[in-house]
Amino acid sequence: MHDDSRLVQQRIARFVRERLAPATYRERVPLQVTAWTAPGEPVPFADAVRQEFTPFAVGSPWGRPWGTVWFRVTGTVPAGWTGPGTRPELALDLGFAGVQPGFQSEGLAYTPDGVVVAAVEPRNAHVPLPGGPGSAVDLYVEAASNPGVASDWAYAPTGMGDPATAGDDPLYRLVAADIALLDVPVWELTQDFWTLSGLVDELPADLPRRADVLRALERAVDAVDPHDVSGTAELGRAELAGVLASPAWPSAHRVHAVGHAHIDSAWLWPVRETVRKVARTFANVLDLMDTDDEFVFAASSAQQYAWLQEHQPDLFERLKQRVSEGRFVPVGGMWVESDTNMPGSEALARQFVAGKRFFIEQLGVEPPEVWLPDSFGYSAALPQLIKAAGSRWFLTQKISWNETNVMPHHTFRWEGIDGTQVFTHFPPVDTYTRSSRRPSCTARNASTPRRGAPTPRSCRSAGATAAAGPPGRCWPPRRGRSHSRARPRCG
């Protein structure tokens, strides 16, 4: 039997790359850019805006290792941008490199009165603009020039780990700072293609559903006029609506996706950078919640919430409101996602005491689970400590990385040395983040094409993290202190 699946997939990928991606923005208008370079450690917004900003040309280098440059972008949304199915936004490319997000430049956008808007990073290189045609644009962007200390994962010695040895040569080049007119139907079609192409990659080759999805994608390519992508994007979406709505089969599980960002509190960057990463990540999460009523997000580590409370109190108040609604879900109940082998029992007990006290007193919730997806090894006394802390469940996955004695189960009751049992779950994907294996495909998160540019990333993510997930559909949680008990977790 003739099978042209590979050719069809190649055609789909080419269509997305050459037709959809370039049509994501209908128009772009450059903004005026000025900048101020912080001389040392990062400074608060109130200090930065009092400095003298000087003109900065797009294309110019910026940012010594571990430095901070504040950009101010100003302009006006064109009065003629009134077409249906469009909206203006700031498209900002700080010079994102083709390495893993979380290990390069990142930024946080503020209004002139100091209100955090959203973060920019390789998977989220745009910021919403509240005004319509004719409105003024005026934003400050705190840009961090973080070096990719482990970008090649070679583990070789590097001078980039310390500002004293990293040098002063700029690491990045400002590629674009534009007001861009987003074509919403084209962007939505791109997300449909990203979702279904990822499903095709995951399904067995002999499954009829895989063939149905692949042929629907092929029909969508046929339906879109390559010379009028904007005008025919809805026709492409119509071809995909059926397979997007169709369940796998009657006995299939229903999966509820909950957004999550795994943020290492201290790893390949200074702790002060973790403080800023938390703010960037949570800012994007809150912005997503403003635009998607079904988006639910989970995050661990009371320490990270405490950092947000100290350094971004207004953002913390917005987060508290979403926690009260059951949409921003604190998980884990510990001060940080700690190691459990080297600390003694008193230190581990204090992880729970300090963590739960913060969540109860500051946010009004008590997480019932213990959440340690990235800790290397677990004390046999942990079930006893978990029960003594009033927690009920334990989530991890790191043991699944064992090279010798592979863990045979994903869901089981773990019995500790005193006989205490705790219900335990390992996400079956054997890691703490999950994404499609294929490169994603939108130009919205890339700016102007350039030599050596990375493959554009799709789907708006939570932001500047070691791992972050796009929003998913989930049912409304229960309200109040025990709301997190109603929702299964995804690592």
CA 118 to chain centre: 12
Q: Quick one: which of 237, 236, 186 has its CA closest to 443? A: 186
- Using the 8-state DSSP alphabet, how is residue 389 labeled? T
Rg of the chain on CA atoms, in Å: 23
| Residue 88: CA count within 13 A, CB half-sphere | 24
Q: Within the chain, what is the greatest distance between any pair of CA atoms?
A: 72
Torsion over CA of 107, 464, 363 and 140, rounded to 10 degrees?
10
**Residue 313 in 3-state DSSP?**
helix
What is the sign of the dihedral through the CA atoms of 45, 50, 51 and 56? positive
Measured CA to CA, the distance from residue 35 to residue 38 in angstroms comes to 10
Which residue type is seen at 447? S
**Residue 127 in 3-state DSSP?**
strand
**Sequence-ordered list of residues with C-beta below 8 angstroms from that of 140, at least 6 positions apart, any chain:** 45, 48, 49, 70, 71, 72, 109, 110, 111, 112
- Using the 8-state DSSP alphabet, how is residue 432 labeled? S
Which residue type is seen at 143? A
Measured CA to CA, the distance from residue 253 to residue 337 in angstroms comes to 30
Instruction: Count the neighbouring beta carbons within 10 Å of the beta carbon of residue 155.
Output: 7
Hunting for tokens 């995050």 — which residue is that?
299
Stretch (H or E) spanning 142:
strand 136-145
Which residue type is seen at 305? Y
**Residue 76 in 3-state DSSP?**
strand
CB 312 within 8 A of CB 137: no
**Sequence-ordered list of residues with C-beta below 8 angstroms from that of 129, at least 6 positions apart, any chain:** 77, 87, 88, 89, 90, 135, 137, 179
Q: Would residue 225 show up in a list of annotated catalytic residues for this protein? A: no
What are residue 329's DSSP bridge partners?
A: 298
Distances (CA, A) of 262 to 279, 304, 313, 336, 429: 14, 11, 22, 11, 15
Q: Quick one: which of 437, 458, 452 has its CA closest to 17? A: 458
Query: What tokens were used for 53?
Result: 């900003």
Query: What tokens were used for 190?
Result: 């791109």
Candidates 152, 374, 418, 430; catalytic one: 374
Please identify every residue annotated as catalytic.
374
